[in-house]
């Protein structure tokens, strides 16, 4: 039995007191408001530090939150996934580092990669409305190294290719649509008829409104080998000068 689910990719921006009114502590209520407004079935969060992760787990009603930090002690920024409690069943969970040693916490590709370890969180899940399970994968590629991003994209492709189930991949890829790491994902998975569900959307990174719409880069994506029914940007309209993040979240309705 096929069914259509709503997916979201949501970069929350690390909790930085230097952001003032837009620090995560101050705008957490706006994040919750957006989630209550959009009601995704599954969401991939990026830039979630330890305190943010605890707050989401404690104060995100109706969702189960999974994932760990990217550093060698399993703390630090995480690529969290969240799904509707009672509607989505977790079958298996993996936290995998983008590196030649993917099971080693905190490992990297080196080379042109920044000092930040990069990883992805993958969950094999079963939704009540679907007959078969699928993989929901969330990542955040490097913000410095082009080669590191390409190697990370290749590793993601290899991971998806090693499983027969349908997949949905969300994330901040730190790359615009013309970058080779973005083209790689759909090209390498052409036999799966993989698509960028957000291909027709505009820019997503606005830096708390500092970047005008015509100059915003599109770096947030949702890929799938399911049928993309629709997608859209969740516009970040400030309330009394406060944004919900420095990225626009993106949503997609996908039939699996």
pLDDT tens, per residue, the chain with 256 residues: 789 999 999 999 999 999 999 999 999 999 999 999 999 999 999 999 999 999 999 999 999 999 999 999 999 999 999 999 999 999 999 999 999 999 999 999 999 999 999 999 999 999 999 999 999 999 999 999 999 999 999 999 999 999 999 999 999 999 999 999 999 999 999 999 999 999 999 999 999 999 999 999 999 999 999 999 999 999 999 999 999 999 999 999 999 9
The two most distant CA atoms of the chain are separated, in Å, by: 49
**In the chain, how many domains are there?**
1
> Residue 115's domain spans which residues?
4-255
Helices 24-38 and 50-59 cross at an angle (nearest 10°) of: 40
CATH code of 143's domain: 3.60.10.10
pLDDT at 101: 98
Strands (E), 47-194: 63-66, 81-84, 88-97, 119-127, 134-140, 167-172
d(CA 77, CA 83): 19
Reduce the DSSP state of residue 103 to 3 states and report it.
coil
Asked if 137 and 165 touch (Cβ cutoff 8 Å), the reply is no
Reduce the DSSP state of residue 161 to 3 states and report it.
helix
Pairing state between β 167-172 and 42-46: unpaired
pLDDT at 183: 97
pLDDT at 1: 75
The structure's pTM equals 0.97
């Amino acid at each position: 039995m096929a069914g259509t689910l709503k997916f979201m990719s949501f970069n929350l921006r690390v909790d930085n007191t230097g952001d003032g009114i837009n620090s995560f502590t101050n705008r957490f209520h706006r994040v919750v408001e957006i989630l209550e407004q959009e009601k995704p079935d599954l969401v991939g969060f990026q830039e979630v530090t330890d305190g943010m992760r605890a707050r989401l787990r404690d104060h995100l009603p109706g969702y189960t939150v999974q994932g760990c930090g990217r550093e060698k002690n399993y703390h630090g920024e995480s690529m969290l996934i969240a799904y509707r409690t009672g509607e989505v069943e977790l079958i298996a969970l993996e936290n995998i580092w983008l590196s030649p040693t993917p099971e080693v916490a905190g490992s990297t590709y080196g080379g042109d990669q920044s000092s930040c370890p990069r990883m992805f969180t993958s969950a094999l899940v079963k939704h009540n409305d679907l007959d078969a399970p699928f993989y929901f994968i969330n990542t955040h590629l490097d913000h410095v190294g082009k080669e590191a991003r390409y190697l990370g994209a290749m590793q993601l492709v290899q991971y998806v290719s090693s499983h027969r189930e349908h997949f949905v991949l969300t994330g901040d890829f730190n790359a615009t649509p013309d970058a080779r790491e973005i083209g790689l994902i759909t090209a390498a998975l052409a036999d799966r008829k993989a698509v960028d569900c957000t291909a027709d959307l505009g820019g997503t990174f606005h830096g708390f409104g500092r970047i005008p719409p015509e100059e915003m880069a599109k770096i947030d994506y949702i890929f799938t080998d399911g049928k993309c029914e629709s997608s859209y940007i969740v516009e970040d309209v400030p309330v009394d000068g406060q944004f919900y993040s420095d990225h626009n979240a993106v949503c997609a309705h996908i039939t699996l």
